[in-house]
Structure 1
Amino acid sequence: MVGTLDIQRALADGVKAYEPGLLAAAHRGALYVDEVNLLPDHLVDLLLDAAAMGRAHVERDGVSVKHAARFLLVGTMNPEEGEPRPQLVDRFGLVVTVSAPRDAKLRAEVVRRRLAYEAGPDAFAARFAADETALAARILAAREAVPSVLLPDTELDRIARVCLAYGVDGMRADIVVARCAVALAAWHGRDRVTADDIRDAARLALPHRRRKDPLDPPGTDEERLEEALDQAGMDDDPDDDPQPPSGGPDDNGPDSGGGPDSNGTPDSSNRPQSSGGPNSSGPDSSGPDSGNGPDGSSSPDSSNASERGDDSRSSDGTPKEGQASGGAAAVQAGAAYRPRALRIAARGEGGHAGRRSPAFARRGRVVGSRIPRGKLAGAPHLPATLRAAIHRGALTAGAQVVQPRDLREAVHVGREANLVLFVVDASGSMAARKRMTVVKTAVLSLLRDAYQRRDRVGMITFRGRTAEQVLPPTSSHEVGVLRLASLRTGGRTPLAAGLRAAAATIAIERRRDPRRRPLLIVVTDGRATSGPDPALVAPALAGVAAVVVDCESGPIRLGLARRLAAALEADVMPLDALAAGNTPIGKAA
């Protein structure tokens, strides 16, 4: 991105020359980044520095260069794959959410135009040439009108109140909303900013700036923004006498807010839904898994909800109405905490960029050099290249000749994202003494950690006689929170069935994506009151990095989770120690 040493000139002429990168090419233009939320940290740092100073400073491979780098940064991303760093998000002035239309006529029109374009691109372009010309003329007229648009003091005060009510950090949000409101007024042909312009500008400039819990329920940003807008509007005194010199509000009034319009809050039909999770049509409490199992454990559905730590269910064992939309709040016994870092100890080979386990990658910390496997990938390792040339006798006092066969490439170690597969014991023994409430909080904390490290997550629960894949491997950690909120408990403990389901899931994912290494997290007290001995299933998970979170509590402990960890060749840690420190653990795969 920032450029590097010009290898051809270095080999041919023996001089150090700089080869410009993308930042130099994007000067006075636009820099488009796809999947901007997946950028490695060092590239994010480069973008932040260039955006702040308007210049790029390159120090690498013996080259020191400064060059101008002023550009318009445009990025696209899939929010389900994780959010970018807050510092980078704040550099984006406006954010637009793009979703598929929910109207059948609009969808049909999209397909119709796509087919028309494929049939004749030139004819298709000519069909809309007049519309594009008119749009370009309107944009030019709005740009010329921007300097003459008045931003009244009362509307500027409204912007400040909205930003304060929404809880954004810094002053960049206020400036962006003000500039956007002025541009919207010019676009609509008005000579002064109105409350409607501020409302529309706030919807574009504020939602992505709020510091939020990564596992907030869907729609939280929009709801809080509407509350902030309403609060800012109600704070105004409608009896104030608007004086033109002081820039008072216009005929629309500060309390009108513009009302809901086509640019309003996205329709709830476009939000992620919790369909597919456990619901009232699922198995009820009278089934074989109700908790009155042969092991004699008490039924969690017949006990007090707070006793079994599952207050998200009604007396008949079904989720309470509206509980699934509660997301994180439905599973938090206390605030989710920062868990210990669970990582795969062995280094991976070219996995997906992330923030969990160490892996050899194209970027990261240089740990050595090697002969290129085909074409040179990235920057060369100059000291190793010179040593190879010296060893061959190519460098003497009167000659400096480096052949392509002398080139050595740098070996980097960075961080990769993994498949984090949770296997959660939901049997009757886990529901006793509020243990499940603590377990849900722990799993929620681990889900947040996986979200921040850009992992894929999956969840398997076992209770009664079988295991169930409640969350197939996905990048949507939000869905994991919803499934965790509606988790049912009770019955016997088919631990072997849970491990067998985990082995099957990992095998499928390895065929689908061999580059992503799995990390198995088994949350259980180690009891197995149904099915075969778990040690007989353990060989199916041989070579899989695993951690057993021991949920056993009380003065008398049987140590069954430790036996399970020994069979899986996994690390074991008590549930109450999950939040202690950040010591990496995890067996090598």
Structure 2
Amino acid sequence: MPRFPFSAVVGHDDLRLALLLNAVHPGVGGVLVRGEKGTAKSTAVRALAALLPGLQVVPGCRFGCSPEAPDPDCPDGPHPAGGTGEIRPAHLVELPVGATEDRLVGSLDLERALSEGVRAYQPGLLADAHRGVLYVDEVNLLHDHLVDLLLDAAAMGRAHVERDGVSVSHASRFLLVGTMNPEEGELRPQLLDRFGLTVEVRAARDVDTRVEVVRRRLAFEADPAGFAAAWAGAEADTARRIADAQERVGSVRLDDTELRRIAAVCAAFDVDGMRADLVIARAAAAHAAWRGADAVAEQDVRVAARLALPHRRRRDPFDEPGIDQQALEDALRAAAEQAEPEPEPEPPDGGGGGAPHARTEAGAGDGEDADRPTGPATSGPAQSDPPRAGADGPTGEAPAAQEQPSGDGPTRAAPPPSTPFRARRLEVPGVGEGAPGRRSRARTDAGRVVRAGDHTGGSPHRAADLHLPATIAAAAPHQLARGRTGAGLRLQRDDLRHAVREGREGNLVLFVVDASGSMAARKRMSAVSGAVLSLLRDAYQRRDKVGMVTFRGLGAELVLPPTSSVPAAQVRLTSMRTGGRTPLASGLLRARRALAAERLRDPRRRPLLVLLTDGRATVPARPGGDPVHDAYRAAGLLADDGVHTVVVDCESGPVRLGLTGRIAEAAGGVLVTLDELSAECVAGVVQSYRAA
């Protein structure tokens, strides 16, 4: 079935331009496409492959070596340089989120090992993607160990395989394209920086545009071949223009004036490292070649910076990626003053003495505007500070501004969080089997093999679970007794060995926050919010699911059901209200119900409950009950459920009742203070938590 034509994609100018610039100059480093679901992200990426020029490859080479410059270490080589080649289309290789490590990098050829008794290498997706496109849909959900392998291959241009008795190295240079929905979680910073360009895609709000999208999609579904034929001319023109730009990009000039402009813009946005400068230089040269110019001009730098800087200027995990168009224009104006290099002193003989023109790998360029539509600047929603309460009163309480009736006295908006700090890992004891993450130890299907285990009933769940070297070693001593006379290994069930894998899992971190009047003192609640925000950042980095329960007044509320979108928890935190009595038992029971419901959805994800309170309990969980006794009983029920609890003592002042210690004891958890959650002190908390 034909793919939807690239030229028929409606709108998404920045997306199409970013993909085309990478097709012109693969050194740009790939594209990350961020956007809401149903916005044709995957459609545009898959359509790009049909436009790429064919590749000259060595006949029969499984690694796509070029006959002009074959890889000297190719496992299928050596190939003579300058030999005859054959033309094949550039590959679009899709990496599924659930792919295994051996599928990505390759592994021992199991069929040949068992039938011929030889050790042969079976290439993986990295080999197939060489000189083509490696597409990862939902790249933010990719397992961490696969991300590490991708980072290594993208950085070095080679894939190294050391597994199952195989030691292989082969070339693996590819255009990395990833798509993601930010609502499902963000990317690790290391992988985010590997993408050269990024674009934000949103569905059009213009009625005419939406109508045209639906019209074209329905026409394609009704007659795919006819629709593709109608757009064949436009597709051929785009493919021809890509090929022409690829030939031209090597001769495009990058003068010192534009090189200094690039450096000044990157310095103005305070980006980390030098990768942004290199990406902008290459993308600007590609843009100049795309519009047919011979040298890079300011307009090329503007377009390249708009696509290369949004994901690199993030300073906080919860900040939305993006770049303000006005800020970019201001930076370009300021950079213009630094673009002209200072004249060097003339030599004694009076001759000229300018520095030679700098070049990128692609060269550089200057020229007229391209005949392509220019989309709006990529920018995320502006981040605003949470509403601030008024000045503290004589008692240290925030004024009762914005009071609202709650049936239990006035409430007020929580004060802004205190300065966040770096929190180290709080982990659940033992070894789990939950979703891949970076918090607690776990037995995983996709982690690193730590040892071989004996086969005890049944067969391995899948081929990847078979520890082949150990299986062959177990069978080898018995071949003569089993009557083996030729090629092929004679196996029995007792020979099978399975791979024991261990990695780290993500947990469900449920925050239970006391928002009652006893916690509403401005400094105390600000410190509590800052601690929760710091722990949320830690959960973001460790790929946990998070939820939040608050309790005040006469009951408790699940303000954030368990989700992988950690920034959503920050929004709920900053909009939290405080005041009223302290229904501690209700808060713990509401957390217990939330954990029970989540256990039915995801039984393998282990919970970590973080309770932030001063320990006071003034509202019973049942009519006529005792508030304190009900709180202890609710904590004991959590312990009976096997929930691992950390109680954060938020009590302050010279007089302390020490009530939180009894709650921690009843829950079978660990008691820490707010101060002990800092990066300097939390290491001791983790040690005591493991021992609990």
Q: TM-score range by the shorter chain?
A: 0.7 to 0.9
Choose which of 59, 70, 92 in structure 1 pairs with 2:173.
Answer: 70
Check conservation: 1:457, 1:473, Cα contact below 8 A: yes
Could you tell me how far 1:147 is from its partner in structure 2? 4.1
Check conservation: 1:546, 1:586, Cα contact below 8 A: no
Choose which of 527, 531, 535 in structure 2 pairs with 1:438.
Answer: 527
Q: What's 2:495 paired with?
A: 406
SS in 1 for 2:521: helix
Choose which of 407, 424, 432 in structure 2 pairs with 1:348.
Answer: 432
1:42 pairs with 2:145: yes
CA distance in 1 between counterparts of 2:326 and 2:193 reads: 20
CA distance in 1 between counterparts of 2:448 and 2:614 reads: 39
Q: 1:173 to 1:237 in 2, by over 3 A?
A: closer
Q: 1:77 to 1:9 in 2, by over 3 A?
A: same
Q: What's 1:339 paired with?
A: 423
Could you tell me how far 1:504 is from its partner in structure 2? 2.3
Matches within 5 A, 1:447-458: 447-458=536-547
Q: What does the per-residue CA deviation read over 1:246-285, in whole Å, with 9 as the maximum and x for residues that have no partner? A: 9999899xxxx99xx94332476xx4999xxx999xxxxx
Q: What's 1:385 paired with?
A: 471
Q: What's 2:20 paired with?
A: none
CA distance in 2 between counterparts of 1:395 and 1:571 reads: 59
CA distance in 1 between counterparts of 2:339 and 2:574 reads: 48
Q: What's 2:633 paired with?
A: 536
Q: What's 1:361 paired with?
A: 444
Aligned partner of 2:375: which letter?
N
Aligned partner of 2:450: which letter?
V
Could you tell me how far 1:361 is from its partner in structure 2? 0.6
1:167 pairs with 2:266: no
Q: What's 1:222 paired with?
A: 323
Q: 1:235 to 1:507 in 2, by over 3 A?
A: same
Unaligned runs of 5+ in 1: 281-299, 319-328
Choose which of 664, 676, 679 in structure 2 pairs with 1:565.
Answer: 664
Check conservation: 1:38, 1:353, Cα contact below 8 A: no
Unaligned runs of 5+ in 2: 1-103, 344-354, 358-363, 405-413, 622-629
Q: 1:94 to 1:557 in 2, by over 3 A?
A: same
Could you tell me how far 1:302 is from its partner in structure 2? 10
Aligned partner of 2:661: which letter?
R
Q: What's 2:334 paired with?
A: 234
Matches within 5 A, 1:151-230: 151-210=254-313, 212-216=315-319, 218=320, 221-223=322-324, 226-227=326-327, 229-230=329-330
SS in 2 for 1:97: strand
Check conservation: 1:306, 1:434, Cα contact below 8 A: no
Choose which of 123, 134, 137 in structure 1 pairs with 2:240.
Answer: 137
CA distance in 2 between counterparts of 1:306 and 1:197 reads: 59
Q: What's 2:375 paired with?
A: 263
Could you tell me how far 1:214 is from its partner in structure 2? 0.3
Out of 372-381 and 474-483, give the one that drifted further. Answer: 372-381
Q: 1:307 to 1:422 in 2, by over 3 A?
A: same
1:61 pairs with 2:169: no
CA distance in 2 between counterparts of 1:249 and 1:395 reads: 71
Q: 1:493 to 1:403 in 2, by over 3 A?
A: same
Percent of aligned pairs sharing the same letter: 56
Q: What's 1:289 paired with?
A: none
CA distance in 2 between counterparts of 1:138 and 1:114 reads: 25
Check conservation: 1:158, 1:233, Cα contact below 8 A: no
Q: What does the per-residue CA deviation read over 1:133-172, in whole Å, with 9 as the maximum and x for residues that have no partner? A: 2322333333344345443322221111011112223333
CA distance in 2 between counterparts of 1:458 and 1:305 reads: 35
SS in 1 for 2:418: coil
Q: 1:433 to 1:189 in 2, by over 3 A?
A: closer
Q: What does the per-residue CA deviation read over 1:4-49, in whole Å, with 9 as the maximum and x for residues that have no partner? A: 2222332333332222222222222222223333444433333233
Check conservation: 1:86, 1:209, Cα contact below 8 A: no
Check conservation: 2:106, 2:122, Cα contact below 8 A: yes
CA distance in 2 between counterparts of 1:150 and 1:302 reads: 59
Q: What's 2:407 paired with?
A: none
Q: What's 2:14 paired with?
A: none
Check conservation: 1:162, 1:229, Cα contact below 8 A: no
SS in 2 for 1:543: coil
Q: 1:273 to 1:153 in 2, by over 3 A?
A: closer
CA distance in 2 between counterparts of 1:305 and 1:500 reads: 36
Q: What's 2:197 paired with?
A: 94
CA distance in 2 between counterparts of 1:48 and 1:230 reads: 34
Check conservation: 1:2, 1:56, Cα contact below 8 A: yes
Matches within 5 A, 1:27-38: 27-38=130-141
CA distance in 2 between counterparts of 1:75 and 1:195 reads: 28
CA distance in 1 between counterparts of 2:648 and 2:275 reads: 44
SS in 2 for 1:197: helix
Q: 1:72 to 1:237 in 2, by over 3 A?
A: closer
Aligned partner of 1:509: which letter?
E
Out of 198-207 and 579-588, give the one that drifted further. Answer: 579-588
Aligned partner of 2:587: which letter?
G
CA distance in 2 between counterparts of 1:113 and 1:206 reads: 33
CA distance in 1 between counterparts of 2:512 and 2:581 reads: 16
CA distance in 1 between counterparts of 2:688 and 2:194 reads: 36
CA distance in 1 between counterparts of 2:395 and 2:195 reads: 44
Check conservation: 2:552, 2:580, Cα contact below 8 A: yes
Q: 1:581 to 1:377 in 2, by over 3 A?
A: farther
Check conservation: 1:355, 1:417, Cα contact below 8 A: yes
Q: 1:108 to 1:469 in 2, by over 3 A?
A: farther
Q: Which runs of 4+ in 1 moved over 6 A?
A: 238-241, 245-252
Q: What's 2:569 paired with?
A: 480
SS in 2 for 1:95: strand
Check conservation: 1:389, 1:395, Cα contact below 8 A: no
Q: 1:513 to 1:450 in 2, by over 3 A?
A: same
1:17 pairs with 2:120: yes
CA distance in 2 between counterparts of 1:496 and 1:279 reads: 30
Check conservation: 1:101, 1:107, Cα contact below 8 A: yes
CA distance in 1 between counterparts of 2:379 and 2:160 reads: 45
Aligned partner of 1:263: which letter?
G
Q: What's 2:644 paired with?
A: 545
CA distance in 1 between counterparts of 2:437 and 2:247 reads: 45
CA distance in 2 between counterparts of 1:109 and 1:251 reads: 33
Q: 1:478 to 1:375 in 2, by over 3 A?
A: closer
Check conservation: 2:288, 2:365, Cα contact below 8 A: no
CA distance in 2 between counterparts of 1:85 and 1:436 reads: 30
CA distance in 1 between counterparts of 2:394 and 2:561 reads: 28
Q: What does the per-residue CA deviation read over 1:281-303, in whole Å, with 9 as the maximum and x for residues that have no partner? A: xxxxxxxxxxxxxxxxxxx9995
CA distance in 2 between counterparts of 1:397 and 1:33 reads: 47
Q: What's 1:576 paired with?
A: 675
TM-score (structure 1 length as normaliser)? 0.81
Check conservation: 2:107, 2:122, Cα contact below 8 A: yes
Out of 535-544 and 427-436, give the one that drifted further. Answer: 535-544
Q: What's 1:7 paired with?
A: 110
Check conservation: 2:517, 2:580, Cα contact below 8 A: yes
